[in-house]
Structure 1
Amino acid sequence: MGNNTDPGDLVDKINMLDIVLTLAGASLSIVGAFVLFFAHYLRHKSGKPTDEVRQFLIFLTVADMFNALGLLSGVARFLNSEDSTDEKVAACHRYEELGCIAQSYITTLFGMSSFFWTTIIAFHLFWTYEDNCPSSIKKTLLYHFITWGIPVAITTAAVSKNVLGSDLSVGSGAWCWISACLPQYDRTLWMTISGKGWEILMYFSCCAFYLLIKWRKIKIRRLRRKMNIGSLSPSQTAVQSDVETKPHEDIRFLLLWLIEVVLRIFGTIRYLTAAVRRHTAKEIKNYNTVDKVLLHFQSFGDSAQALCSCLLFCIFDKEIRNLLKDNFFCNQKRSEKRPLLTRQTTVC
């Protein structure tokens, strides 16, 4: 397979800033994931019910955490490889690197799983907006099949087709994804199938679910204006009061897709511009300069999803923040009191 990428565009594309940003985003995401897990445990321990959407958030965080771990291993491999040398680019990675393929498998699988869980959360909020009944076992199994089964199938197919490898940072950062050695059409096809296509679909589908929920809220408000609350049946009153009390919680979960867009849009723009350049042979003005700037943002954004979930659902959530604070400081106070009690016993 020949290299279809201009080697001059690839040498020294990744600099130390990209590596630092990836390391920072991935490390903070892993810490944020554990904080979210611990907060979930404390909330459950305090006797508060765990609804389905919070369980989905945990599954999403698991996917984001493993994605961050994969990116960390990708950076470690990049620092010990020679991806950016003229010889390596010209050779087009004729030999397979198992570490690169394994890292690409992890980040591709869990990256897709993250997109699917984000979409499932938005769909679930839309579907259960006026009816809080828990999902049936069949529906829950379907959710898990979609979010884990489809990514595993696609990524395993990619391995069997030998398309995973170093993409020389054309669509990624300091980590592996789709091999740069593939023909142009195959590269774009597999980049779309194994990530970017699902990501773009997530943007539009989650936006649609968000707008549909907003429309339902507007319809309910109009209904309230037309009909006196006192003339409604008890069941209608219960539905309306439930809708009025739950939006704050739902809006935070709906913000997950916006966070995903803000963090990942830079990589999506790089993917689209690279695809246009690859297939039209048109020289885009200031392409390399803009691409390097976008790469800086992508290096942090692609690894920071779990961090942002932690900020949204732990740090900016007063209830969870107080739970974490009480647990930490109460334990600290207990440990400080023990030596004091020992001294008092000795004096007596």
Structure 2
Amino acid sequence: MYKMGNNTDPGDLIDKINMLDIVLTLAGASLSILGAFVLFFAHYIRHKSGKPTDEVRQFLIFLTVADMFNAFGLLSGAARFLNSKDSTDDKVAACHRYEELGCIAQSYITTLFGMSSFFWTTIIAFHLFWTYEDNSPSSIKKTLLYHFITWGIPFAITTAAVSKNVLGSDLSVGSGAWCWISACLPNYDRTLWMTISGKGWEILMYFSCCAFYLLIKWRKIKIRRHRRKMNIGSLSPSQTAVQSDVETKPHEDIRFLLLWLIEVVLRIFGTIRYLTAAVRRHTAKEIKNYNTVDKVLLHFQSFGDSAQALCSCLLFCIFDKEIRNLLKDNFFCNQKRSEKRPLLTRQTTVC
């Protein structure tokens, strides 16, 4: 049986999660699930209206699926915390000498779909970079590779974590009102599995998406400079069309590139908590005001980790005039039809 890491002070773990953290998690997760369904419905009516669905929009749907299931896992984790006694003296001292299937199942869901969300965000940024000047659809092999990376790798890592019995309650050291990597692991194993099963991929996503964003900006600058040097009038019509398409396309793509910035803003609080906890765990250094700052960051993490699908809905539905009008027209048209039906019935009866 694993024992709690030597640098983990049980006294710091008592009553770490309060009702505010649970409420923030429940609110963020519930709004994300609602936002995911709104985004799915918007995608449906957009397709129904005859507008083409490009590849990157399909990737957005897959990303939203991952974020929705992640939010569902966090919702169940927060609900579990309402009746849980994870932070009592007895349970901390016992270091969870019995397995809680609900905690492990929730940890499996959030770990798998959390990693999948990171991978889909990175794939979207890579795809925009790779197809910036050539918007032809990906081959079947490349599409299958995308799905293998985004679903297969997280599934393999999470299944390995279950087989190694490392999933469980981490006593909210690095997470919020939900389970993740068991606090009963030795310090090295705990940090290793936190890195492998989420935080390492998350940090890699930050830097890789930033790199793709800068590369796209660099390409855009190169194209503009090239156009200034060239005499556009001497180009053939097909070349002019390609140049114009490359010049106007980034307005659409920039919103997809903002996805990684949303991830950074929402999840940076958990990343800071993970890094500071790891430093404290392995160096035995007492960080000044650690507990106070950690609790403040925990409040932001409780909402941020569960709010990705909500922000995607805001970005691609509420703040998108085209989609907003489609949703409004669809809703109000149906409402007007339902209001007209009784009137038509009365007219028919009179006749």
Per the shorter chain, which TM-score range?
over 0.9
Using the TM superposition, give the Cα deviation of residue 346 of structure 1 relative to its aligned residue in structure 2, in angstroms: 2.7
Match of 1:191 in 2: 194
Using the TM superposition, give the Cα deviation of residue 77 of structure 1 relative to its aligned residue in structure 2, in angstroms: 1.4
Match of 1:296 in 2: 299
The size of the alignment, in residue pairs, is: 348
Using the TM superposition, give the Cα deviation of residue 224 of structure 1 relative to its aligned residue in structure 2, in angstroms: 1.1
Deviation per CA, 1:88-116, whole angstroms, max 9, x where unpaired? 11111111111100000000000000000
CA contact (8 A) 2:170 2:183 kept: yes
Q: Distance in 2 between matches of 1:103 and 1:302?
A: 14
Using the TM superposition, give the Cα deviation of residue 4 of structure 1 relative to its aligned residue in structure 2, in angstroms: 4.7
CA contact (8 A) 2:262 2:308 kept: yes
Q: 1:257 aligns with which of 236, 241, 260?
A: 260
CA contact (8 A) 1:100 1:166 kept: yes
Using the TM superposition, give the Cα deviation of residue 125 of structure 1 relative to its aligned residue in structure 2, in angstroms: 0.2
Q: What is the correspondence of 1:1-348 to structure 2 with a 5 Å cutoff?
A: 4-348=7-351
Q: Distance in 2 between matches of 1:328 and 1:9?
A: 51
Is the partner of 1:206 in helix, strand or coil?
Answer: helix
CA contact (8 A) 2:7 2:282 kept: no
Q: Distance in 1 between matches of 2:23 and 2:265?
A: 20
CA pair 10-60 structure 1, distance change in 2 beyond 3 A? same
CA contact (8 A) 1:3 1:92 kept: no
Deviation per CA, 1:50-96, whole angstroms, max 9, x where unpaired? 10000000000000000000001111111121101011111111111
Is the partner of 2:53 in helix, strand or coil?
Answer: coil
CA pair 261-341 structure 1, distance change in 2 beyond 3 A? same
TM-score (norm 2): 0.98
Using the TM superposition, give the Cα deviation of residue 236 of structure 1 relative to its aligned residue in structure 2, in angstroms: 2.9
- The worse-fitting range, judged by mean Cα deviation, of 68-77 and 205-214 is 68-77
CA contact (8 A) 1:173 1:298 kept: yes
- The worse-fitting range, judged by mean Cα deviation, of 157-166 and 230-239 is 230-239
Deviation per CA, 1:165-190, whole angstroms, max 9, x where unpaired? 00000010000000000000000000
Is the partner of 1:283 in helix, strand or coil?
Answer: coil
Deviation per CA, 1:207-229, whole angstroms, max 9, x where unpaired? 00000000000001101111111
- The worse-fitting range, judged by mean Cα deviation, of 162-171 and 1-10 is 1-10
The alignment-based identity, stated in percent, is 97
Is the partner of 2:154 in helix, strand or coil?
Answer: helix
CA contact (8 A) 1:3 1:180 kept: no
Using the TM superposition, give the Cα deviation of residue 232 of structure 1 relative to its aligned residue in structure 2, in angstroms: 2.3
CA contact (8 A) 1:4 1:183 kept: no
CA contact (8 A) 1:173 1:295 kept: yes
Q: Distance in 2 between matches of 1:239 and 1:150?
A: 37
- The worse-fitting range, judged by mean Cα deviation, of 87-96 and 116-125 is 87-96
Using the TM superposition, give the Cα deviation of residue 315 of structure 1 relative to its aligned residue in structure 2, in angstroms: 0.3
Is the partner of 1:215 in helix, strand or coil?
Answer: helix
Using the TM superposition, give the Cα deviation of residue 244 of structure 1 relative to its aligned residue in structure 2, in angstroms: 1.6
CA contact (8 A) 1:172 1:267 kept: yes
CA contact (8 A) 1:256 1:309 kept: yes
Q: Distance in 1 between matches of 2:234 and 2:276?
A: 58
Q: Distance in 2 between matches of 1:39 and 1:79?
A: 34
Is the partner of 1:333 in helix, strand or coil?
Answer: helix
Using the TM superposition, give the Cα deviation of residue 127 of structure 1 relative to its aligned residue in structure 2, in angstroms: 0.1
> Structure 1 regions of 5+ residues with no counterpart?
none
Deviation per CA, 1:255-311, whole angstroms, max 9, x where unpaired? 000000000000000000000000010000000000000000000000000000000
Is the partner of 1:162 in helix, strand or coil?
Answer: coil
CA pair 289-229 structure 1, distance change in 2 beyond 3 A? same
Is the partner of 2:349 in helix, strand or coil?
Answer: helix
CA contact (8 A) 2:7 2:284 kept: no
For the aligned residue pairs, the C-alpha RMSD in angstroms reads 1.0
Q: Distance in 1 between matches of 2:5 and 2:42?
A: 50
